[in-house]
Amino acid sequence: MPGSGDRGAAWARWLGTGLLGLFLLPVSLSLEVSVGKATTIYAVNGTEILLPCTFSSCFGFYDLHFWWTYNNSDTSRTILDGIVKNEKSDPKVKFKDDERISLEGSIKEKVNNISILLRNVDFSDTGKYTCFVKNPKENHAGHNATIFLQVVDKLEEVDNTVTLIILAVVGGVIGLLIFIMLVKKFIAFVLKKTQEKKKECLVSSSGNDNTENGLPGSKAEEKPPTKV
Ligand SMILES: *[C@@H]1O[C@H](CO)[C@@H](O)[C@H](O)[C@H]1NC(C)=O
Ligand SMILES: *[C@@H]1O[C@H](CO)[C@@H](O)[C@H](O)[C@H]1NC(C)=O
Ligand SMILES: *[C@@H]1O[C@H](CO)[C@@H](O)[C@H](O)[C@H]1NC(C)=O
Ligand SMILES: *[C@@H]1O[C@H](CO)[C@@H](O)[C@H](O)[C@H]1NC(C)=O
């Protein structure tokens, strides 16, 4: 009866979702904004870089306001600003302060993507990029997530670190294998020596036994007496 099993599973899922929903209720009422796992991204000067940002809202939204700010030690400004009419429409840019910036995100399959692309990055673009999302239904300040952009000459620094780590790990593993092999060889050597010693003892004692028995002598005595 596959039907009853399925229904059981559906029930369990429903119950699970319900309980989880109750548990998460205070959180999911509000928006959640994320820039992903990395808190710092590196870009080479002259190239382009995607500054990621997504948001989620369990209860839907309309006329949602979003914007990006740029922050470094001596300036703080809004670099892009826009709205998302509803869950079925793509985000629309209302303002941006730099031609090199473009909105790359889209609203589809529950992924509300408001990432921006920064072209021809310069060393002066290094700084904090924060994306904000504000649901008009909520009164308090926008939810936000920040990513740090570091513009570098070459990505070698990062590569070197990774390479060094890999080399260190590989070297460590090889070293360990060699060490284990040496230890094994040494133990085998010691065991062999010990066994050889034992064998030697056995051989010599048996030899002693032979001489002590004086077998050859007795044999000679056993020689049949010469007939006269
Ligand atoms: C990046 O900056 C370095 C140092 O200023 C410069 O030599 C190089 O040409 C730049 N690269 C690009 C792609 O602009
Ligand atoms: C940007 O910098 C200003 C002044 O340093 C600070 O008050 C503000 O909180 C910063 N904003 C972000 C998003 O870091
Ligand atoms: C957001 O959109 C950009 C550009 O299309 C894409 O590269 C990125 O992977 C998207 N992010 C997510 C989380 O889907
Ligand atoms: C950004 O969000 C944090 C909580 O995640 C909040 O404490 C902070 O005040 C927000 N920043 C701004 C400028 O709204």
> For ligand 2, atom 12, which residue shows the shortest CA distance?
71
User: Are the CB atoms for 134 and 86 separated by under 8 Å?
Assistant: no
Give 63 or 212, the one with higher predicted confidence. 63
Task: Look at the chain and report how many structural domains it folds into.
Answer: 2
Looking at the structure, tell me whether residues 147 and 35 fall in a common domain: yes
| pLDDT of the residue at 154 | 86
Going by C-beta distance under 8 Å and a sequence separation of 6 or more, which residues neighbour residue 87? 60, 61, 107, 112
Answer whether residue 215 is part of any domain. Answer: no
- E strand spans, the chain: 32-34, 40-44, 49-51, 54-56, 62-71, 76-86, 92-96, 101-103, 107-108, 111-113, 116-118, 127-134, 143-152
3-state secondary structure of 132: strand
What is the C-alpha separation between 112 and 103, in angstroms, rounded?
12
Answer whether residue 208 is part of any domain. Answer: no
| pLDDT of the residue at 157 | 55
Is the beta carbon of 144 within 6 A of some atom in ligand 4? Answer: yes
Pocket test for ligand 3, best of 41, 49, 50 (most atoms within 8 A of CB): 50
Q: CA triplet 133, 101, 43: central angle to 5 degrees?
A: 100
Looking at the structure, tell me whether residues 143 and 173 fall in a common domain: no
Which of 110, 113, 118, 51 is closest to 82 using CA atoms? 113
Answer whether residue 4 is part of any domain. Answer: no
Looking at the structure, tell me whether residues 189 and 145 fall in a common domain: no
Which range of residues forms the domain containing residue 186? Answer: 158-194
The answer on pLDDT for 183 being more than 90 is no
Looking at the structure, tell me whether residues 145 and 65 fall in a common domain: yes
Answer whether residue 163 is part of any domain. Answer: yes
What is the C-alpha separation between 213 and 102, in angstroms, rounded?
105
The structure tokens listed for 82 are 């826009």
Helix (H) or strand (E) holding 164: helix 156-213
End position of a domain, from candidates 133, 152, 171:
152
The answer on pLDDT for 5 being more than 90 is no
Looking at the structure, tell me whether residues 102 and 176 fall in a common domain: no
Looking at the structure, tell me whether residues 42 and 122 fall in a common domain: yes
Answer whether residue 228 is part of any domain. Answer: no
Looking at the structure, tell me whether residues 82 and 188 fall in a common domain: no
The answer on pLDDT for 97 being more than 60 is yes
| pLDDT of the residue at 24 | 45
pLDDT confidence of 161, banded at 50, 70, 90? confident
Looking at the structure, tell me whether residues 120 and 162 fall in a common domain: no
The answer on pLDDT for 159 being more than 70 is no
Global confidence as pTM? 0.62
End position of a domain, from candidates 135, 152, 169:
152
Q: Which residues of 83-116 are buried (b: 16+ CB within 10 A; e: fewer)?
A: bbeeeeeebeeeebeeeebebebebeeeebbbbb
Answer whether residue 89 is part of any domain. Answer: yes
Give 189 or 76, the one with higher predicted confidence. 76
Give tens-digit pLDDT for 192-212.
Answer: 877 766 554 444 333 344 444
What residues does ligand 3 touch, defined as CB less than 6 Å away? 50, 52, 54, 104-105, 111, 113, 115
Looking at the structure, tell me whether residues 173 and 85 fall in a common domain: no
Pocket test for ligand 2, best of 35, 71, 133 (most atoms within 8 A of CB): 71
Answer whether residue 200 is part of any domain. Answer: no
Helix (H) or strand (E) holding 170: helix 156-213
Give tens-digit pLDDT for 25-57.
Answer: 444 456 788 988 888 999 999 999 999 999 988
Phi, psi of 9 (to 5 degrees): -65, -40
> For ligand 2, atom 14, which residue shows the shortest CA distance?
71
Answer whether residue 60 is part of any domain. Answer: yes
Separation of CA 60 and ligand 3 centre (Å): 20
Separation of CA 32 and ligand 2 centre (Å): 20
Separation of CA 67 and ligand 4 centre (Å): 14
CATH number at residue 67: 2.60.40.10
